[in-house]
Structures are given as structure tokens and as C-alpha cells.
């Protein structure tokens, strides 16, 4: 070997990828971490199927409840942590079946809307005649769509599904015999997964992270004794793809694939860089022998292109870059930087977001040093664990950072983590609460940047949504329906079960998130250039959709309460969303000083909208008729939308209606699926009943949470994690009613604590501390210079602020007193 080659190998293996630290230097179980003390087996590998039933159990239980998720918003992976062979499931968020490039072509894909608007007059006449059955029949037959939701019902399958990129296996040549001190850890502080164990005097460690700034997954295998890394890496591809492999130099592999359903191309590269030993690429595998340390780099991409203005005649309107080229560029850049730089870049990027918020609950209470699943089991036995509650809160923030970053798609039903060809509810974007719930914690927990994928997703629905609005309602503007994919799908599906399939207000609900983002950031440039048109066109659809009855009132006919009950002439949920989007449009037009005439129309409709109604049990009525059943414990509580996430019901402004909302929650009970308990948690917080909100949080942890702290419906569904994190924030800070309320739903159990860095509307960053269940102080950073009104209990204070200035608020006698901090 010549001297230049020796120098090159030394440079790559030592300078770019310096030796690992000792396995004893860092205890990743300390701090905010989820960890297990026993390894997973390999019995779940390649359990491929086309789904495990919309409500069935995942066949791969280890993956669902004991794996550790890592991701950067585009690339996701789950670490299983077995000893003999590490198993890693891989996802790229844009890898979807379906779309206009299926074999049916663009005309077939976009031909999904029925032309049904002309039947609205007949449906409404049937309601006027008291013939609800006729109105329902006309709606069922004509206000569904032409596309099926399951592959077995349609060929070619145009709606599609999020699908796996496959699995990696890294055989180690080790066994569990004489293994001890096993740990599988997800450190939320560093967004790093770690597997470590001792065997025959050697400490083995694996580290995993997925970098957003460098678009690469990094895996490090090391040990405290030289020459211990004898690894064999192989790949199990998605069985619904045509896959190929070729060597990528002497130390790497390139896997390419094409989905059978729609021809979508994908690629990922993996490169092994060793310290000592050898690495060779042969027989579809990477083989490492006698290495001291191995760094695997992995890049992945598809040829999907986000498109806000799709060409409805072009089957390739969502097809963009060649993933072979993009993965090569990402790999070259990552390999040049080396492990330390990649790790430092990753931590700097991640911690800049994650460290904005800290939560401390009863700081003097004990923190058991037990694996997370044991702590969860003890919690189910009513043993308090405030550190576990903090961990759950921050896990929601971690998951959002890992699954939703600017430049890509929003978090789906499972974030970015999925281990099958197809999955529950196609692992899609469910627009009747699920995708919305994913983003409830974004702005309040100081992760506003993570909202951008949702904003871009909404922008991509507008042009197709205009066709859906026109076809079904003859309406201006745009809307969406129950389910969406990454190819602009906005139509209802073919099912005649309209309780779940008919949801024309899904679009306006999505549009309320545009105003929410503005209200938290006060980014006027965003509102003017992007946000307002989305809100305005949604409000236009809303006005045109409503039935202007002969008596002058406006009502939603036909309408449903999503996934529950009959077709109605005025479901409360729909009216609540109407109120929300029209109020948002009115405020947005005022901020920008535009559309005075349209604003008056929006206000006129609001004034004449059928009001909330209280039924015979004292409950807020769900439908236009008083047919609620007090024994009904259905998971959806749609008619409380105005309480949360909306703001037209409140104990402060509408106390009678708030009491009626409380009756509904009592009737529905404190159980349900994971995400539903997350929603009820937020609603009890909005009712300012801290103890009841805390009970729902406890139920969510005990009965709706898997051992790795993922939410379960069942099966795994990520929205409950986000709803839980949002609900805890709502217990400690609310700002939806035009003022900031401190500790509005503080439970008795949290006697002492603090939360730092959460956000309020008006672009305030807020930190709060309390003791003996009483406010100690609040510190507010004004980021926009907006006027501030604060409430704590029956005390309130209003003051002007200066952008960039910080203000401290304390109790002074029977008043709140603020002092600026210079």
C-alpha cells in the first residue's frame, strides 16, 4: 500500500470519524429518555401485509410498542435493538402509492367528484317537508365520490397509501448468551437512539440519529475492545416494488425501487466507513470484518414533487427529481463532513428547537430509575410519577420535530413511522380531526416552524379542492373531505356510510390553522402573501355551502357530525367550524385592511347562523333535533369544537353554554381511544377544570399509551401524543379568548412547578412558576410589541409592550403587577 493511500485511509477513519467515547462516559438513561432493559427478538421481521385492518392489532407488536422512533421530517426509522441482528424499519414520507401516475392515468385519477350540486335544492326541500329519510338517501347516493378507500375495491387503486421503504438488518455475530446490562434508549435531549450491552468483558454500543440539516441517517457501531465489529448488512425491500441493488464503490450499496402501483421511484444509499478492519460490498450485502468501529451513513429520497398548482392532464405532475442523483449528492456531502460534524450539526439544529421549553412538575418528588415500561406499569397502579408526565409531554414535542420539518409533508396518522405495505386508514391525512390534532402543540410549545409542512399541504389542496367545492355545492373557494393523500385528493370517497365519509367542512377546519399560525407569530408578511387567500377562499366556500333558509337564517344542510349519527340539516359541529373560519376571515381582512364588502357578508352570515342549542338533558345538542343519548360514549365529541379547538364557547364568555358542554363530556365518559382522551383532556382544560383534565391525562397514559409511549387507538396512531402535549399546555396557559390566562386548569396534584418558553397568541413567549398551587410569577417576552392582557383567577392586568422587551408579572395584594425587565 503506497503512502498516499495510507494517509487517505487514516484521514477518513480517524480524522473524519474519530474514535468513539468510552461506553461508560455517557448514561443516556438519565435526563429525558425512554428506555428498555431487554432486547427485542427478530420474530417481527418482514411481516409484510396489505394492512392489519382499520382497527386490528399490528402483527408486529415489538415494532409497535417497543421500538424507538428517530426521524428528520423526511426520513424515519425505528430501532428494534436485538443483539444478534439489529433490525431497522425505514420510511421516506413521500413514498406513497396512488396518484395520477397510476396505470389509469391523470383523467382516471382526477375523475373522482360526482356532479351533485344540482341536488341540494331537493335535499333541502326534503328537510323542509320533514322527510329526513329522503334527504339522507339523496345525500348517501350523490354526495359520496368515485374513488375507493381500499385496494380490494378498485383497480388501479388511485387513492393509494403511505408505504414502507423496507427494512435493514445488521447481523452482528453475537448472541444474548452471557449478555448483561442491556439498554435500548431514546434520548429526547439529543434526539439519539442508543443500544448498549456488555458481553464477556466488552461494552458494545450503537448510536443512531437522523439529521435534518445534513439529510442523512447516521449509525455508529463501537466497542471498548478493538476488532469486535463483524457485521453483515442486508436489506428486505417493500414487496410491492421492483427493487434493484448495485455496489456504490467498495464500501457502499445503492438500492433503487419502483412502486408497482404508480411507478414512483425511490432510492437509498448506505455507506460503511470503518476504523480498522475491512469492508466489502458483495452479494447484495455490506460485510465488515474485524473493525474497531463502523459508521453507516444512509440517505433516501423519492421522485415525488410537491405541487401547489397541479396540471390535471399530466400524470407526472407530482414527479420531480431523480432520487438516485439526490441521494448521491446528500451522501457525498455527509461523507465529507465526518461523524463529529454531522453529530454536532444534528444536535445544534435539534436542541435549538427542543430546548425552548422546559417543564418541571413537583421538582422535589422522587424519580424512579426504572425502564419506561415499568414506570408506566406502576403509573397504571396509581403510583405518582411526575417525571414520567414530563417525559410524555416532551415526547410529543420530540415526535413533532422528528416528523414535521419545513420542506416536506406534514406528520401523517403515524407521523413518519410505518412498517407495512399498507396500514390503518392507509396511514393517510385524516381531515376530521387527526391531522389537525397533530398540530395543536406546534405553536403553543414554541415549535412554530414545524407548522410549515401543514401550511404547504393545505396549499396543495386548494386547486383540486376548488373542483370538489364546485362539483358538490356549486360553491366558490375550496374544500377537502374526510381523507387526503399527497396527490391533492379532496373528494369524498365511494362509501355511502356518510357519517364518516361526508365532511365538507374539513377544508375550513384546516384553514383555521392558517389563522392560528398568524395569530401566534403575528407575521403580517405571511398573512398577506400566503395565508389570507387560503382563509378567504375557504370562507367563500363556507358561505356558499350554507343553506339560506326562507326565514333568513343560515344552516348547514346536509351535514354530519363526523363518524357519528345521522345526516342532518344543521349539525352543531359544522356550525362551530363555520363560526371559526368566518371570524378568522373577518379578523384577517381587518389586519390587512382589505375586502370590506366581503367582510360585511361574512358578518351577516354569522349573525344569522343557527345558534348553539341546549337539549333536554342540559347538554349542548349535537344535531338540529334533540336526539342525544346520555348513555352514548362515542369517541368523537365534534359538537364541542367551539370549546376546543375553537373559541366560541368558554366559561368566561358563554358560561351557560360551557355548562352544557360539560354535560356532554360527563355523558361521554373519561375513557375512549387514545386520541379521543387527548381531545377530552383539552376540552376539560378549556372548561378550566384542572382536576378533571388531569384525570383524562392520567387515563391517556394508563389506557391509551404503549410501552414506548406511542399513542394507541388501537393500533398505533400518533395524534394522541400530540393531543396530550397540547392538553398539558392548555392546563397551564390559554390565550384563545383574546387575553393570556395563567394556570387556568392547574390540578391539585401539581402543587409546585414551572414551565418555561411556551407561547401565547400575540407572539408572546411565556414562563410560569407556581408553588402551593398558586402563581409565583410569570415572565413574558414580547416578540411583536402587541398589547397584553393577562388574567390569573379573578385578577387581570393590561399593559402595552415593546417588541423585544421582557416583562415580569406577580401578585401584589389583590392585584397583578407587572414590571419590565431591562
Q: Domain boundaries in the chain?
A: 3-98+160-360, 113-146+428-647, 753-821
Query: What's the pLDDT tens digit per position in 307-347?
Result: 999 999 999 999 999 999 999 999 999 999 999 999 999 99
Query: What's the pLDDT tens digit per position in 515-565?
Result: 999 999 999 999 999 999 999 999 999 999 999 999 999 999 999 999 999
Task: State the pLDDT confidence band at 2, using cuts at 50, 70 and 90.
Answer: very low
Q: How far apart are CA 472 and CA 490, in angstroms?
A: 12
Task: State the pLDDT confidence band at 283, using cuts at 50, 70 and 90.
Answer: confident
Amino acid 15: pLDDT: 45
Amino acid 659: pLDDT: 98
Percent of the chain with pLDDT over 90: 92
When pLDDT is averaged across residues 698-714 and rounded to a whole number, the result is 97
Amino acid 11: pLDDT: 43
pLDDT for residue 58 is more than 80: no
Amino acid 577: pLDDT: 98
Query: What's the pLDDT tens digit per position in 463-493?
Result: 999 999 999 999 999 999 999 999 999 999 9
Query: What's the pLDDT tens digit per position in 258-272?
Result: 999 999 999 999 999
Encode burial over 409-418: b for 16+ CB neighbours within 10 A, e otherwise: bbbbbbbbbb
Amino acid 25: pLDDT: 55
Amino acid 59: pLDDT: 76
Amino acid 44: pLDDT: 60
Which listed CATH number (1.10.357.10, 1.10.300.10, 1.50.10.10, 3.40.50.300) goes with 113-146+428-647? 1.50.10.10
Q: What is the DSSP letter of 716?
A: B
Task: State the pLDDT confidence band at 17, using cuts at 50, 70 and 90.
Answer: low
When pLDDT is averaged across residues 19-45 and rounded to a whole number, the result is 76
Encode burial over 79-102: b for 16+ CB neighbours within 10 A, e otherwise: bbbbbbbbbbbbbbbbbbbbbbbb
pLDDT for residue 6 is more than 90: no
Encode burial over 323-357: b for 16+ CB neighbours within 10 A, e otherwise: beebbbebbeebbebbbeebbebbbebbeebbebb
When pLDDT is averaged across residues 408-423 and rounded to a whole number, the result is 96
Q: What is the mean pLDDT of the chain?
A: 94
When pLDDT is averaged across residues 158-171 and rounded to a whole number, the result is 97
pTM (predicted TM-score)? 0.96
Percent of the chain with pLDDT over 70: 95
Answer yes or no: are the C-beta atoms of 556 and 578 closer than 8 Å. Answer: yes
Amino acid 10: pLDDT: 39
When pLDDT is averaged across residues 158-173 and rounded to a whole number, the result is 97
Amino acid 9: pLDDT: 41
pLDDT for residue 55 is more than 80: no
Amino acid 822: pLDDT: 62
Amino acid 27: pLDDT: 79
Provide the CA 719 distance to its chain's centre, in angstroms. Answer: 6
Bridge partners, residue 207, by sequence? 194, 220
Amino acid 45: pLDDT: 56
Amino acid 474: pLDDT: 98
Amino acid 18: pLDDT: 52
Amino acid 599: pLDDT: 98
Question: For 3-98+160-360, CATH number?
Answer: 2.70.98.50
Amino acid at each position: 500500500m503506497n503512502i498516499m493511500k495510507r494517509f487517505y485511509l487514516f484521514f477518513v477513519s480517524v480524522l473524519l470519524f474519530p474514535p468513539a467515547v468510552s461506553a461508560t462516559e455517557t448514561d443516556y438513561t438519565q435526563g429525558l429518555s425512554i428506555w428498555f432493559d431487554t432486547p427485542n427478538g427478530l420474530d417481527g421481521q418482514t411481516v409484510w401485509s396489505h394492512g392489519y385492518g382499520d382497527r386490528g392489532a399490528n402483527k408486529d407488536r415489538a415494532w409497535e410498542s417497543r421500538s424507538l422512533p428517530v426521524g428528520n421530517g423526511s426520513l424515519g426509522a425505528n430501532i428494534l435493538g436485538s443483539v444478534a441482528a439489529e433490525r431497522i424499519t425505514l420510511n421516506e414520507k413521500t413514498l406513497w402509492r396512488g396518484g395520477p401516475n397510476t396505470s389509469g392515468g391523470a383523467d382516471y385519477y382526477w375523475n373522482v367528484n360526482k356532479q351533485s350540486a344540482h341536488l341540494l335544492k331537493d335535499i333541502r326541500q326534503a328537510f323542509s317537508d320533514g322527510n329526513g329519510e329522503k334527504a339522507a338517501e339523496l345525500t348517501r347516493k350523490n354526495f359520496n365520490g368515485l374513488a375507493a378507500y381500499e385496494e380490494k375495491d378498485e383497480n388501479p387503486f388511485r387513492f393509494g397509501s403511505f408505504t414502507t421503504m423496507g427494512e435493514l438488518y445488521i447481523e452482528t455475530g453475537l448472541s444474548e448468551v452471557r449478555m448483561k446490562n442491556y439498554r435500548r434508549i431514546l434520548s429526547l435531549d439529543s434526539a439519539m437512539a442508543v443500544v448498549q450491552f456488555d458481553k464477556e468483558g466488552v461494552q458494545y454500543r450503537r448510536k443512531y440519529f437522523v439529521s435534518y440539516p445534513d439529510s442523512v441517517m447516521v449509525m455508529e457501531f463501537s466497542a471498548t475492545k478493538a476488532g469486535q465489529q463483524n457485521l453483515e448488512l442486508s436489506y428486505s425491500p417493500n414487496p410491492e416494488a421492483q427493487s434493484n441493488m448495485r455496489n456504490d464503490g467498495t464500501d457502499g450499496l445503492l438500492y433503487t425501487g419502483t412502486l408497482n402501483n404508480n411507478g414512483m421511484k425511490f432510492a437509498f444509499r448506505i455507506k460503511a466507513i470503518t476504523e480498522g478492519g475491512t469492508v466489502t460490498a458483495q452479494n447484495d450485502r455490506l460485510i465488515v470484518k474485524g473493525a474497531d468501529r463502523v459508521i453507516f451513513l444512509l440517505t433516501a429520497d423519492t421522485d415525488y414533487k410537491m405541487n401547489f398548482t397541479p396540471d390535471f392532464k399530466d400524470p407526472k405532475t407530482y414527479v420531480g427529481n431523480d432520487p438516485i442523483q439526490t441521494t448521491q449528492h446528500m451522501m457525498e456531502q455527509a461523507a465529507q463532513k465526518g461523524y463529529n460534524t454531522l453529530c454536532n450539526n444534528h444536535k445544534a439544529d435539534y436542541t435549538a428547537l427542543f430546548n425552548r421549553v422546559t417543564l418541571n412538575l413537583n421538582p422535589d418528588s422522587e424519580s424512579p430509575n426504572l425502564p419506561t415500561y415499568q414506570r408506566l406499569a406502576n403509573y397504571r397502579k396509581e403510583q405518582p410519577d411526575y417525571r414520567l408526565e414530563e417525559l410524555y409531554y416532551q415526547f410529543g414535542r420530540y415526535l413533532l420535530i422528528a416528523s414535521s420539518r419545513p420542506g416536506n409533508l406534514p406528520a401523517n396518522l403515524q407521523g413518519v413511522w410505518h412498517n407495512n405495505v399498507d396500514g390503518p386508514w392507509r396511514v393517510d391525512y385524516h381531515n376530521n380531526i387527526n391531522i389537525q390534532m397533530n398540530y395543536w402543540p406546534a405553536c403553543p410549545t414554541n415549535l412554530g416552524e414545524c407548522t410549515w409542512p401543514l401550511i404547504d399541504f393545505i396549499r396543495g389542496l386548494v386547486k383540486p379542492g376548488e373542483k370538489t367545492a364546485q362539483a358538490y355545492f356549486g360553491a366558490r373557494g375550496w374544500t377537502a373531505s374526510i381523507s387526503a393523500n399527497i396527490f391533492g385528493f379532496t373528494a369524498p370517497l365511494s362509501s355511502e356510510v356518510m357519517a364518516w365519509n361526508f365532511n365538507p367542512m374539513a377544508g375550513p377546519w384546516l384553514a383555521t390553522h392558517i389563522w392560528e399560525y398568524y395569530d401566534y407569530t403575528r407575521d403580517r408578511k405571511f398573512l398577506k402573501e400566503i395565508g389570507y387567500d387560503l382563509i378567504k377562499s375557504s370562507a367563500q366556500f363556507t358561505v356558499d355551502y350554507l343553506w339560506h333558509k326562507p326565514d333568513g337564517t343560515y344552516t348547514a344542510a346536509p351535514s354530519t357530525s363526523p363518524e357519528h349519527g345521522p345526516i342532518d340539516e344543521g349539525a352543531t359541529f359544522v356550525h362551530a367550524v363555520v363560526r371559526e373560519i368566518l371570524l378568522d376571515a373577518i379578523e384577517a381582512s381587518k389586519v390587512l385592511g382589505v375586502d370590506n364588502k366581503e367582510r360585511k357578508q361574512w358578518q351577516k352570515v354569522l349573525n344569522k347562523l343557527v345558534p348553539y342549542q341546549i337539549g333536554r338533558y342540559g347538554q349542548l345538542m349535537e344535531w338540529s333535533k334533540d336526539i342525544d343519548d346520555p348513555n352514548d360514549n362515542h369517541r368523537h365529541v365534534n359538537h364541542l369544537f367551539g370549546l376546543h379547538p375553537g373559541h366560541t364557547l368558554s366559561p368566561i364568555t358563554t358560561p351557560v353554554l360551557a355548562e352544557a358542554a360539560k354535560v356532554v363530556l360527563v355523558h361521554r365518559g373519561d375513557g375512549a381511544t387514545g386520541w379521543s382522551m387527548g381531545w377530552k383532556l383539552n376540552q376539560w382544560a378549556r372548561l378550566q377544570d384542572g382536576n378533571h383534565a388531569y384525570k383524562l391525562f392520567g387515563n391517556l397514559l394508563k389506557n391509551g399509551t404503549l410501552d414506548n409511549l406511542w399513542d394507541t387507538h388501537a393500533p398505533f396512531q400518533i395524534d394522541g401524543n400530540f393531543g396530550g402535549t397540547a392538553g398539558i399546555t392548555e392546563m397551564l396557559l390559554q390565550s384563545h379568548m383574546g387575553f393570556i390566562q395563567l394556570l387556568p386548569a392547574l390540578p391539585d396534584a401539581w402543587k409546585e412547578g414551572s414551565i418555561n418558553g411556551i407561547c401565547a397568541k400575540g407572539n408572546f413567549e411565556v414562563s410560569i412558576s407556581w408553588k402551593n398551587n398558586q402563581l409565583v410569577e410569570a415572565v413574558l417576552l414580547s416578540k411583536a410589541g402587541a398589547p397584553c392582557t393577562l388574567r390569573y383567577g379573578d385578577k387581570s392586568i393590561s399593559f402595552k409592550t415593546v417588541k423585544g422587551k421582557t416583562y415580569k408579572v406577580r401578585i401584589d395584594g389583590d392585584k397583578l403587577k407587572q414590571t419590565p425587565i431591562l
